Structure 1
Amino acid sequence: MFRIGVHNRAFTRRAFGQLRFNSTKAPGEFTWVDYFQLKKQNSRLNMFSGAVTGVLGSALTLGYLGNIEIDVEKPIFGFDPLMVMGGTVILGGLVGYLVGPFMGSAVFKMMHRSKMAQFEVRNKEFLQRLRRNRPDPSSQSFSNPIPDYYGEKIYSLKDYQQWLRDCNAFRRKAKEFL
């Protein structure tokens, strides 16, 4: 017969002390906290990849223009050739910067392939909540700008709650001053 003594109780506490029995999250559940963490990671990855591809685009454009012969005395489209070359390098960087988020999103989707379906469902819910709670922008003014219309700066539940408060303040100010 098995008896639970003092020694056995200590063993059970050590064995099960790491488990949380009253947890509100199921093992496979995708919570809003998880969604906001992934949203923040996606945004940062897109920003980083945009910066990297922008620098690469400028460098590739500069490398190409550095290897072709241009007569500096003949204008190109009526402009100074050095100005056209400088503008082309800047344009190459801008095109690279615009291509970066596409690459960042692809990398993000490959990194989180198992969570993407749940992430997309939460993203759709989040955007519906934004549409539902977003104030009417027609009443904005210089002294009463609309708060973050697309919710791009919301990366946590605290940020979302603050956004809701800002939207309510916007509505109240718009109603009072019109």
Structure 2
Amino acid sequence: MACRPSPRHFAKAISTARPVLSSRSSCIRRQPYSANQASQQPFRPISLQCTRTYSASATTPPSQSVETKLTWNRFLELRKHRRRYGLTASVVFGVGCVTGGTSFILSRDLEAAAAQMVGLDPFIVMGLSTMGLGAVGWLLGPLLGNALFNIMYRKYLPDFALKEREFFNRIKKYRVDPISSSVSNPVPDYYGEKIGSVAGYRQWLKDQRAFNLKRGKLTF
């Protein structure tokens, strides 16, 4: 016959097993939250997209400011473009005024009436009228050319005006005195209209110096 455990022995076994369970539960409760568990959490794609968007927007304005910055070479190149705009507009306006004005005068027989008033031949009156119309168109051309230039390059206008003021101050300071010019020693580009680059400006300074050396007076 197998022996049965006594109630006292069974109570003793339970009392010895309780501390083990309590110690395990206390270990589980007191286990701290480590930083490694936080690093194992997945990243959120929304924050990553926000970071990329912020970095892209932060790097865009400097590139735009660099593109719109006006250098001296670019300024001198724009001066040449403006002069070409004005010259082209003068030619177009001159031809247009001559053509339109001549057609209007011939259709109304105004040259005959003007010839009777001033006592000149109608052909002379017609020739003078044609010359006057061409001169008016030539003078009005630069206004249209400059207006078209301002529209095409309006983003450069503030810097262009500042650099143009500084450029003309330099031209006035270093250009030669035209009083002492002669046929053998003409004034080299008095207004600096032929300057198209920084290298061209340096050559202009050399020409001014050569003019002064040739007339026997050094002003630099």
* Superposition TM-score tier, normalisation by shorter sequence: 0.7 to 0.9
Residue identity in the other structure for 2:72: W
Tell me which of the two structures has the higher relative contact order, counting C-alpha pairs closer than 8 angstroms and 6 or more residues apart. Answer: 1
Report how far residue 29 of structure 1 moved.
2.2
Contact 1:76–1:84 (CA under 8 A) maintained in structure 2: no
CA distance 1:31–1:83, shift in 2 (3 Å): same
Which residue is equivalent to 1:91? 132
Question: SS state of the match for residue 216, structure 2?
Answer: helix
Which residue is equivalent to 1:155? 196
Which residue is equivalent to 1:175? 216
Deviations 1:117-175 (A, max 9, x none): 10011111110110111112222122111111111111122221111111000010111
| 1:110 maps to which of 137, 151, 173 | 151
Higher Cα radius of gyration = 2
Deviations 1:66-118 (A, max 9, x none): 1113549x644121011101210121011001100001001111111111010
Greater helix content: 2
Contact 2:98–2:134 (CA under 8 A) maintained in structure 1: yes
| 2:206 maps to which of 161, 165, 178 | 165
Contact 2:68–2:156 (CA under 8 A) maintained in structure 1: no
TM-score under structure 2 length normalisation: 0.64
Over the residues paired in the alignment, what is the CA RMSD in angstroms? 1.8
Deviates more, 1:46-55 or 1:141-150: 141-150
| 2:77 maps to which of 10, 16, 37 | 37
CA distance in 1, matches of 2:154, 2:116: 52
Contact 1:52–1:100 (CA under 8 A) maintained in structure 2: yes
Question: SS state of the match for residue 175, structure 1?
Answer: coil
Which residue is equivalent to 1:67? 107
Which residue is equivalent to 1:47? 87
TM-score under structure 1 length normalisation: 0.79
Question: SS state of the match for residue 70, structure 2?
Answer: coil
Aligned length: 151
CA distance in 2, matches of 1:62, 1:71: 13
Instruction: Give percent identity, aligned residues only.
Output: 36
Q: Flag as ranges the 4+ runs of structure 1 deviating above 4 A.
A: none
Deviations 1:3-48 (A, max 9, x none): xxxxxxxxxxxxxxxxxxxxxx944421011101111110101000
Consecutive unaligned residues of structure 1, counting only runs of 5 or more, are 1-24
